[in-house]
Structure 1
Amino acid sequence: MEDLNLIKVSSDPISKMKAYLMRMRKDSDSAPSIEEIAKMVDEVRTSRNEEK
């Protein structure tokens, strides 16, 4: 799948998304954790799949 540019596999120890989230949360006390964001995404995906 990587050969077809459908996915990107990275060997970076910290993903770009995780680094971005860390920068955005640096000064925020109320920002959700990565686990909370992942849970929210899963809930949205589940609800969308149930609608179909």
Structure 2
Amino acid sequence: MWTAYHLLEPADTAVQPEMAPAIVMMWRRTSRAPAMDGMRRRERVRKMQLEAAPSKM
């Protein structure tokens, strides 16, 4: 009786190979994003400060 269930495959097995890389990429992006986003934000703020500062010519 358990062999019948063992031989049955779920209907959504064709979707899983496409979903797994997307999930991994999303996890990598979210785990890496906070530091990268903070660095980008600091760079933007610094650039704006330099542009707004009066030039000393």
Structure number with greater CO (CA < 8 Å, separation at least 6) is: 1
Q: With structure 2 as the length reference, what TM-score do the two structures score?
A: 0.37
Structure with max Cα Rg:
2
